[in-house]
Amino acid sequence: MTNSSRDIKTTGIVLKKNKFRETSVIFNLFSLELGRISVIAKGVRKNKSKYIGLIDILNEVELELYKNPESNLYLFKSGRLLNNYTYGNSYRKQVLLSAAAELYNKLSFPDDEVGQMYQLLKNYLVFMQQVNKNGIAIFWRFLLRIFKIMGINLEPNVCIKCGEIGNKMVAFSVHSSGFICQNCYRQSQADFVVGISAKTAEILAILPNIGNYLNQIEISDKIIKELNNIFLLHLSEHFHQNFRLKSLEML
């Protein structure tokens, strides 16, 4: 079957898909071997297509592709489903899963980080299956791990000014990429800082080990807004553009 040198076999997770013409689909795949690629799958929306439903967001698939040398698009030849991570989940969990796909569709990172990033995404999708409460905190932990791989590490319980661990945080400095404790914070600070409420500070303090606290804490919508805003500001600062995740706005 794979006798042409342009045939490629790859494993990947579908990040985004758009209908194309009457029966086709163009989708973005986070490929373990190739990083993020765009693929056109002709005819897969036909009722009699055996691949109907294969190309769905966050499906992990094994595909045979063909690379047209004159185009950036890969051509879908055949494939099979390895894992589906979205089936049977609540609306809220679907949103948190979709946010990961949206994020990976937007991030750019070097080829040598693809393997690590792939494993991280997979771990997140698997772990989320058994989370019933405060899934957003697992998404934040996932973000912190991404930041680390990408070299834009954010330590939620280390003060960026004094370096002390475990002090109560009162603000986030966008330019310094870190949190500021109550001992170091001055009202007159010229730096662009975002204030943090006491409740949010409590969540930040336990975020690195949040898995141990998931069923004991309450995370209000206000805390969710504050922390989503901070993490998106951090990404915006790093990528020099306004970084939005539409999925998170649906929470």
C-beta of residue 117 within 8 angstroms of C-beta of residue 129: no
Distances from the Cα of 220 to the Cα of 19, 31, 147, 217, 251, angstroms = 37, 36, 24, 10, 12
**Of residues 157 and 247, the one with the C-beta less far from Zn ion:** 157
Q: DSSP code of 44?
A: T
Q: How far is the CB of 184 from Zn ion (least distance, A)?
A: 3
Q: How far is the CB of 136 from Zn ion (least distance, A)?
A: 26
The radius of gyration computed from the CA coordinates of the chain, to the nearest angstrom, equals: 21
**Of residues 123 and 153, the one with the C-beta less far from Zn ion:** 153
Q: How far is the CB of 199 from Zn ion (least distance, A)?
A: 20
Distances from the Cα of 208 to the Cα of 47, 48, 55, 139, 243, angstroms = 47, 48, 34, 12, 23
Q: How far apart are CA 68 and CA 38, in angstroms?
A: 12
> Applying CB under 5 A, does 250 fall inside the site for Zn ion?
no
Q: How far is the CB of 201 from Zn ion (least distance, A)?
A: 13
**Of residues 129 and 189, the one with the C-beta less far from Zn ion:** 189
Strand partners, 38: 28
Binding to Zn ion (CB under 5 A) within 130-189 occurs at 159, 161-162, 181, 183-184
Q: How far is the CB of 161 from Zn ion (least distance, A)?
A: 4
**Helices 114-128, 91-106: inter-axial angle, 10-degree rounding:** 170
Binding to Zn ion (CB under 5 A) within 93-112 occurs at none
**Of residues 162 and 250, the one with the C-beta less far from Zn ion:** 162
Tell me the site size for Zn ion, rule CB under 5 A. 6
**Of residues 36 and 161, the one with the C-beta less far from Zn ion:** 161
Contact set with Zn ion (CB under 5 A): 159, 161-162, 181, 183-184
